Chain A
Amino acid sequence: MRGAGFFGFWLLLARPAGGESWADLAVGLLAAALATWTSLRLLAPGATRVRWGALLRLIARFLWQSIVAGLDVARRVLDPRLPIRPGFLAYPVRIPDGPRRAAFGALTSLMPGTLPVGGDPDGALVYHCLDLDQPIASSLARDEDLLVAAQGGAATGD
């Protein structure tokens, strides 16, 4: 599965024009195999099944929220009064520490008004927020629910 993805990425790089030799293809397969091996060693696959429906909803929400986030920042910056109320907020994240929580951090760093700055001793993620008056915690909770659902598991299971 990952191997096919990496071979696809190779094709993107190589841009086949139709005049390839077998050698080109063989090198591509070899490169994809190496990449897959590395990927499996660095990031062991968990026992998860991707739920496509939930994944599609997650992607849709991500795209929509990206637009909202960009517009939100642009509006605040262009407003002569500069309406921001920055501050920190600890969000008790349910996803256990590891690659998935990192993925959640990366995802939410692109969402409107939130930027993870690290964890705190209680296991929560600390966010820097552009405007504390926004309903940030509930928005984060929705992101988290969707991410967990897309990975086909309960929030605590791995």
Chain B
Amino acid sequence: MSAVEISTVFTVFAVSLGSLFFLAGTLGLLRLPDTLTRLHALTKADNLGLGLIVLGLLPQVSSPLGWIGLIAVWLLALLAGATVGQLLAGALRPSDGTPPDRGGGSA
């Protein structure tokens, strides 16, 4: 296999894997019992999913500026995701600090 083919296979693999994590995050949105736990699924799975997609796209970009650009997109998305996740979580926090006691399947 030539270098081009290897990089293409790598891209397809990493991007598909990344999409799988987005899918897992969405599934978490549907299956998890309350908004706080759903936020976990979204922030974590999307971070890894987007990271993998960016990683997969790196070999397709030839210039170093392009690499840094892709990574900057990931970092800015992380900052946004982390901030919004915390803000939503803070807004949803029960006032007495007790855990929302429902749907906790035993591990």
Contacts and interface: CB of A to CB of B under 8 A. Distances in A.
The answer on direct contact between A and B (beta carbons under 8 Å) is yes
Interface of A: 8-9, 11-12, 15-16, 66-67, 69-74, 76-78, 81-88, 105-107, 109-110, 112-113, 115-118, 120, 126, 128, 130-131, 133
Interface residues of B, number: 46
A106 B79 contact: yes
A120 B97 contact: yes
Interface centre among B65, B69, B86, B98 (most CB of A within 10 A): B86
Contacts of B107: 83-85, 131, 133
A126 B97 contact: yes
Given A83-B106, A115-B85, A117-B90, A77 B41 contact: yes
28 contacts: A8-B68, A11-B65, A15-B65, A67-B48, A69-B44, A69-B47, A71-B48, A73-B24, A73-B45, A74-B24, A77-B25, A77-B31, A77-B41, A83-B106, A84-B107, A85-B104, A85-B107, A86-B99, A86-B104, A109-B43, A110-B43, A110-B44, A110-B81, A115-B89, A117-B86, A118-B89, A118-B93, A128-B36
B67 to A, nearest CB: 10
B100 A72 contact: no
Given A83-B106, A84-B105, A85-B106, A73 B82 contact: no
A75 to B, nearest CB: 9
Given A70-B21, A73-B24, 7 more contacts: A70-B49, A76-B28, A77-B41, A82-B105, A86-B104, A126-B97, A133-B107
